[in-house]
Structure 1
Amino acid sequence: MTGFLRVEGTKIVNEDGTPVVLRGAATGGHLNMENFITGYAGHETEQKEAMLKVMGQEKYDFFWDRFYEYFWTDKDSEFFASCNLNCLRIPFNHRHFLDDQDLTKINPNGFKLLDRIVESCARFGVYTVLDLHTVPGGQNQDWHSDNGTHRAQFWEYGHFQDSIIELWKAIAAHYKENPWIAGYNPLNEPADPKPTRLINFYTRIEKAIRSVDEKHILFLDGNTYAADFSDFPETPYPNSVYSIHDYSKYGFPICDERYTGTETQKAKLLASYERKIAHMKQVGVPVWNGEWGPVYASAMRNDTDIEGTNASRYLLMRDQLAIYKKGDPSGDGAPISWSIWLYKDIGYQGLTFVSPDSKWYRHLRPWLDKKLSLGLDRWGRNAAPEVESIYQRVKDHFNEVIPQQHLKALYPPTWSTSDYIDRVLRDVLLSQYLAHEFADYFRDLSFEELDELAASFKFENVVHREELIQYLKNWI
């Protein structure tokens, strides 16, 4: 251990000035829940409210206490370090700290949840990045900000922004002397239709954090889901790393073209990366690829040609890693830091995943099959053809009646009318109803059964994605 990490030019360095490349993954659906990671429908808050209604307070508290405890333990930290990974990104929901009914009071229980992970990682020499994944009103239009609408209302209300400024001041004060924290990721994937508000927010939050903590790095996501830095100031924020998210369409079921590593495909990967880091090259700041990685095929989701699909996805991952190995924006051929999405789930992307033989899969299998057939997960959506035809008729109608010049009128422009229709009708409205069906699976379960469900996520009970682990382990 050589003290706090800091920024020097386009490098992250330790106290001795030696470059440090952060390699890791995110916990994912732990302190911030996402529907495809654990299997519920819609948004975390809706899921939990529906579960509380059918379980009652005592069993509800028991289940979540066990889930949070089992999901990350010293065994996970030890394994993580053994994979030659040195930094864990910890996404967390603001509601662990703030009650939406009173955004002025900070709940100390949030620190207890974060502390146990940070301290566990430190025992095994693993840095952590604290990632605020949700904010009041939603910093983007999608489900992973626990936003039950398709509008990013965080940018429309100053009170929401003020509450998060104060929250980060409290977090920075709590961790300011902890050298095992690599830094703070103040806002995951912001998507501000008027980007000046994001820049004003970053300027404010940088000053607020520095008023109590001058040591830790800030990891700042670009606008439009960590892809656009065009409105960032020419003078970079001090001691800051700019964070991209570098997902490739080749890694998802919605892409009809299989990745085979052709020169044309490699060129597209490189062009996408270069476009995202153009600002970093111009102003000379480090890059952290805070999220990336494909969705893997699985018999648990009734995928076909699993072997061929996953061979393609692993090839994609290797070719992206090759870009990152020489991706420093200075052009000196040094590697950049990265964090894959994600460490543990129910079989989509994780280094580890819940076993098909677990209580979680055995008990929830009918629900998971129904959810899959309805295409309720934007991440890896692959619904039954008869279901897709229903939505396609709506999409065709929209495309017929909206003038061509206005099809990109809504933000983000990277979304098509198809994306918006899926977001509003499936991810929001239908999922609101079906969250209650998911909750019904927890009705009348005993404490022992609830404990067994939560224990499905314990390290000793999960399956390892060995090929992925070996690629990451051998990267350097």
Structure 2
Amino acid sequence: MIKRNRFHKKSFRILLTIILLLGTFLADWSLGRPASIHAAGSLSDADFLKTNGTSIRKSKGTGSTAYLRGTNAGGWLVQESWMNPTNAPDQKTMMNTLKDRFGAAARDELLSVYEDHYWTTQDFDNISAMGMTVVRLPFTYMNLVDDSGNLKADAWSRLDWFVENCRQRGIYVILDMHGAFGSQNGMDHSGEVNDGNQLYGNPNNRQKTLWLWEKIAEHFKGNPAVAAYDILNEPGIKAAATGRTQWDFYNEIYNRIRAVDGDHIIMMESCWDAGNLPHPRDYGWTNVVYEYHYYPWDSVTSVPGQAAYISSKVADIRSHNYGVPTFVGEFTSFDIEDAWKNTLSTFNREGWHWTTWTYRVTGSNNSWGIYNLNAEAVDIYHDSKDTIRQKWSKVGAQYSAVNSKIYNVIKPYLQGTTDPGSGGSPLFADGEYYLTSVANGGVVSAENGGADPLVANRSAVGGAWESLRLENNSDGTVSFKSMANQKYVCAVIDESNQLLARSASIGTWEKFELVSTGNGDYGIKAVANGKFVQANFNVGGRLEATQDRVAGAWEAFKITRMGDS
């Protein structure tokens, strides 16, 4: 990730289980953290994710909608000096320096000390307790290959351990290649600072990167806990925008992965703006997600400035209409609670997927981390092996503290709320409203006293048939009750997805998300299938939840309170 001046990126077995659980509780208690563990079921084959239009759905794209919301495990497998206890300018320099001073075996042992302690089962329990559904896991080629460029004998041990611990807790993992051979951007967060041309301009590094992605795909093929392959992090040279050079290489990686794994989602990073990516049809890409990283550097201390920045990103993505899911893989709202609330409520309202940057960082007052680590930095040039070993054994949960502001502001949004936090208000207060189709100006009616589907065909509000009571739900969604028959409007997913006022109570099929188009109109997204409602004028303006996006007037509605002009 980009940082300005680098400031700016689970008989005897029963007893053992009891002991481990007690230890977890005591560790949490001693640090003032919540000891409860989120009781999510483990992931199975039925949870395998694929895209379906702009949604991500289980059962390989045919099941219920999944929302990926969580954080990054940045700093575990890729160290950055601004957020980790090291003075190394990049991962490669650290590895080479420790090898030169102590030998390869000692270097690898020291790195194992760090990695064994930095992320433990306590950290999985922490993110599970928050309600996260995903973790983006940055790694580099150096985690998987030896100094000769061959796969390590234990190449998969850490990734397998991480993925399995997440799977057991019902959490998905996004495998993020943060650093490719030669570096895809030349920045320190790629693991190697250079001119940024050592991947795209070096055929050998390109081929090794393609080979490594093939090996990763072969290894994780069929694993339901892996949500996606994030093929290159921030791949613009020296943090510049992506273009044809990156797109063509994405296509090479895509084809190499698809040759061995036809099922996993592949993520393409922009990473700044929607225009920095091609339309997926240009390359024949399917089952892909487009990823963006958002850092409002010009408005670090300004709530309105950050709100305008996020609003511009919404307009940017909408205007490009790529028809694929949107994932914000890295972002922060710095130290401003109201900005965090606006950003997260916007992401959820848009149906985007997101992971904050990041889970843990060094420094007691660092606004980048959900947890702050109090650890002494290793001097890779002068510290002895024993000193490094001692320092890197104190980098885990027991040496970390909750960043209460960031923790508390993020947690509600992991559940999908679109309420901008305490003291905020929903888009519309509970009450009676009528809907008007932007396409024809027709007022929506519950035809035949609610016995027939809703249809946009009335020239004006005539009475109860056109009146809907809007009710806000605790998860940020809304439901509509027809005044014609006092039944809740249902998206009848097993019958052509039409909207019908037939339900006595609110369940998933009776919940909708309201998505502002930015000009006073709204898209209405059915939670049951993640599709937007359209007034289908091929069948008389009948309301049907069938569209991937608000593509035009057929999917746009005005929501007016009864009695208002």
TM-score normalised by structure 1 residue count: 0.70
Match status 1:83 vs 2:153: no
1:278 and 1:231 map into 2 onto residues whose CA distance is 13
Matching residue of 2:371: 352
Could you give the per-residue CA deviations for residues 347-372 of structure 1, whole angstroms, max 9, x where no partner exists? 331111212xxxx33xx4xx9xxxxx
Return 5+ residue gaps in structure 1 as ranges. 253-257, 296-309, 328-334, 368-437
Q: Which residue of 2 aligns with 1:204?
A: 252
Matches of 1:228 and 1:166 in 2, distance apart?
A: 29
Letter in 1 for 2:313: S
Q: Is the 8 A contact 1:277 1:287 kept in 2?
A: no
Specify which structure has the higher proportion of helix.
1
Cα 1:345–1:267 change in 2 (3 A) is closer
**Partner in structure 2 of residue 134 of structure 1:** 179
Q: Does 1:267 align with 2:313?
A: no
Equivalent-residue separation in structure 2 for 1:204 and 1:230 (angstroms) = 15
> Distance between the aligned counterparts of 1:290 and 1:265, measured in 2?
17
Partner of 1:284: 323
Q: What are the Cα deviations for residues 419-462 of structure 1, in whole angstroms up to 9, with x where unaligned? A: xxxxxxxxxxxxxxxxxxx324522x53xx54442232222221
1:97 aligns with 2:139: no
Cα distance, 1:151 vs structure 2: 2.6
RMSD of Structure 2 on Structure 1 (CA): 2.4
* 2:56/2:67 contact within 8 Å kept: yes
1:249 aligned partner: 297
Unaligned runs of 5+ in 2: 1-42, 417-565
Aligned position for 1:298: none
| CA distance, structure 1, for counterparts of residue 227 and residue 196 of structure 2 | 32
Q: TM-score, normalised by structure 2?
A: 0.60
| Pick aligned residue for 2:224 from 173, 179, 183 | 179
Paired positions, count: 360
Residue 110 of structure 1: SS of its match in structure 2? coil
**Mapped contact 1:84–1:472 kept (Cα < 8 A):** no
For 1:320, give the aligned amino acid: T
Task: Flag the structure with higher strand content.
Answer: 2
Whole-Å Cα distance in 1 between the matches of residues 103 and 192 of structure 2? 24
Distance 1:284 1:25 in 2: 25
**Given the alignment, which residue of 96, 109, 117 partners 1:70?**
117
**Does the CA contact (< 8 Å) of 1:89 and 1:129 recur in 2?**
yes
- Return the match for 2:332 from 263, 278, 293: 293
Conserved? CA contact 2:50–2:58, under 8 Å? yes
State whether structure 2 residue 188 is matched by structure 1 residue 188: no
Whether the aligned pair in 1 keeps the contact of 2:268 and 2:289 (CA below 8 Å) is yes
CA–CA distance in 1 between the matches of 2:280 and 2:49?
A: 23
Q: Distance in 2 between matches of 1:237 and 1:273?
A: 23
User: Which amino acid letter does the alignment assign opposite residue 456 of structure 1?
Assistant: K
Residues 1:474 and 1:441: Cα distance change in structure 2 (over 3 Å)? farther
For 1:223-271, what per-residue CA distance to the aligned partner results, in whole angstroms no more than 9, with x for missing partners?
5x5764344444562111111111111565xxxxx21x33x65223211
**Could you tell me which amino acid in structure 1 is paired with residue 163 of structure 2?**
V
The aligned counterpart of 1:169 is 214
Matched with 1:8 is 52
Does residue 156 of the first structure (1) align with residue 197 of the second (2)? no
Contact 1:24 1:340 in 2 (8 A): yes
SS at match of 1:165: helix
Does structure 2 retain, via aligned residues, the 8 Å contact 1:97–1:108?
Answer: no
User: Structure 1 residues 113 and 265, CA, compared in 2 at 3 Å: closer, same or farther?
Assistant: closer
- Tell me: CA distance 1:231–1:3, structure 2 relative to 1, closer, same or farther (3 Å): closer
Counterpart CA distance in 1 for 2:262 and 2:191 is: 30
Map 1:359-370 to 2 at 5 A: 360-361=375-376, 364=377
Contact 1:189 1:226 in 2 (8 A): no
Q: Relative to structure 2, which stretch is displaced further, 118-127 or 193-202?
A: 193-202
Q: In structure 1, what is the Cα distance between the partners aligned to 2:258 and 2:184?
A: 22
1:37–1:346 contact (8 Å) kept in structure 2: yes
The one-character-per-residue Cα deviations of 1:351-394 (angstroms, maximum 9, x if unpaired) are 11212xxxx33xx4xx9xxxxxxxxxxxxxxxxxxxxxxxxxxx
Q: What amino acid does structure 2 have at the position aligned with 1:318?
A: K
CA distance in 1, matches of 2:299, 2:171: 28
Q: Does 1:442 align with 2:386?
A: no
Of the two, which has the highest radius of gyration? 2
1:318 lines up with 2:341 in the alignment: yes
Alignment deviations for residues 130-176 of structure 1 (CA, whole Å, 9 cap, x no partner): 00011122211322112322333211122221211111111111111
| Partner Cα separation in structure 2 for residue 167 and residue 59 of structure 1 | 25
The aligned residue for residue 218 of structure 1 is: 266
Alpha carbons 2:243, 2:277 under 8 Å: kept? no
Quote the Cα distance in structure 2 between the aligned partners of 1:118 and 1:339: 16
